[in-house]
Amino acid sequence: MRILGIETSCDETAAAIVTRDSEGMPQILSQNVLSQFEDHREFGGVVPEIAARAHLTALDHLIKKTMADAELSFDNIDAVAATTGPGLVGGLIVGMMTAKAIAATNNIPFLAINHLEGHALTARLTDSVEYPYLLLLVSGGHTQILSVNGLGDYQRMATTIDDALGEAFDKTAKLLGLPIPGGPNVELAAKEGDAKRFQFPQPLRGKDTLNMSFSGLKTAVRQKAESLAPLSKQDIADICASFQSAVSAVLVNRCKRAMAEFLVKNPTSAPVLVAAGGVAANQKIRFDLETLCTNENWEFVAPPLALCSDNAPMIAWAGLERAERGETSPMDTAPRSRWPLDETTASIIGSGRRGAKA
């Protein structure tokens, strides 16, 4: 099967085609992505209306290029998958309606894909990871630890009770005067910094919970920056390095505890920890998690950097897994600005449900 995937949930327009090779191994036939960083730079963050208009302008051309790169026509496509949530509704509508039009015109199935499921399954695309596995999902809008038991079977073990980690990185960058994208620029500055100069707090560490909190850490960074103002380049680098070190320590602490709980329920599985989402591209975090897994005799898997951020291969792959199971989505499917992977666990702040309370 060949699946066309479309991703337009935020500020990157992307299209890709995935399949399996003759031995059944995942294969990306073509992919293209167009970033909108320059469109949003002067505003210091993503403007939803600008993002939707940019998707509308670019998507048709991007799909044509993706089809041409794979040397395929729509006659060779078995289904079209599009991100249908969570995300910015304007962008979701552009991608979803384009996918529906392609499906209707070519009489092929349409598949509505959860953006988070795309991240959750990327390790199966890149490393053929078998179910079940433990997932650390860290992005601009979500910070969760989940047990991935099978396709569509996700159990949330932990989440953030306030800010998502990607949001904390972006707000730290803005506070320090660093340009967007915030997370990568905090990481870049941290490379020149002393991570031991400032001892920032690690919220909820030592508490009887797997949940995480980053608002207090963000506040500590702001207070330190204000006390040192005006900041030198070295001050900024040291704050970034110390912030990044505290974040990584929190993730390692929570993942280690989650790994122990996971093994209780999955004693016979070969244990694998997967890190996915935009923040999973951070090299400090990847190194510390890999070290943890080595010490605990676990396998650590993180996708290539290009497949950590929003991308279309992950959407196409999630579509392929669902298409192989014979699934399709109704043509009247509506976009969802919030769409938790685990819809059974009680919601708290950060779980992906509107109006959630701790």
What distance separates the 2 farthest-apart alpha carbons in the chain? 63
Whole-angstrom Cα distance, residue 155 to residue 163? 21
Written as six digits, the tokens of 215 are 């608002």
- Give me the tens of pLDDT residue by residue for the chain, a chain 358 residues long: 999 999 999 999 999 999 999 999 999 999 999 988 788 778 877 888 999 999 999 999 999 999 999 999 999 999 999 999 999 999 999 999 999 999 999 999 999 999 999 999 999 999 999 999 999 999 888 999 999 999 999 999 999 999 999 999 999 999 999 998 899 999 999 999 999 999 999 988 888 899 999 999 999 999 999 999 999 999 999 999 999 999 999 999 999 999 999 999 998 778 999 999 999 999 999 999 999 999 999 999 999 999 999 999 999 999 999 999 999 999 999 999 999 999 888 777 544 333 333 3
Query: Nearest-CA neighbor of 17 among 93, 100, 76?
Result: 76
Phi, psi of 59 (to 5 degrees): -60, -45
What's this model's pTM, rounded to 2 decimal places? Answer: 0.93
Name the CA dihedral angle for 100, 104, 106, 111, rounded to a multiple of 10 degrees: 40
Residue 40's SS3 state is helix
Written as six digits, the tokens of 265 are 């329920």
Written as six digits, the tokens of 270 are 């070969």
> Which CA distances in Å does 280 have to 111, 309, 321?
26, 8, 23
Question: In degrees, to the nearest 5, what angle opens at C-alpha 196 toward C-alphas 193 and 197?
Answer: 75
Name the CA dihedral angle for 71, 76, 79, 84, rounded to a multiple of 10 degrees: 20
> Which CA distances in Å does 210 have to 181, 206, 228, 309, 342?
28, 10, 33, 25, 16
Angle between helix 233-265 and helix 182-190 axes, rounded to 10 deg: 110
Residue 16's SS3 state is strand
Reply yes or no: is the peptide bond before residue 86 cis, omega within 30 of 0. yes
Q: Which domains does the chain have, with CATH numbers?
A: 3-120+307-324 (3.30.420.40), 131-305 (3.30.420.40)
Structure confidence at residue 351 (pLDDT): 42
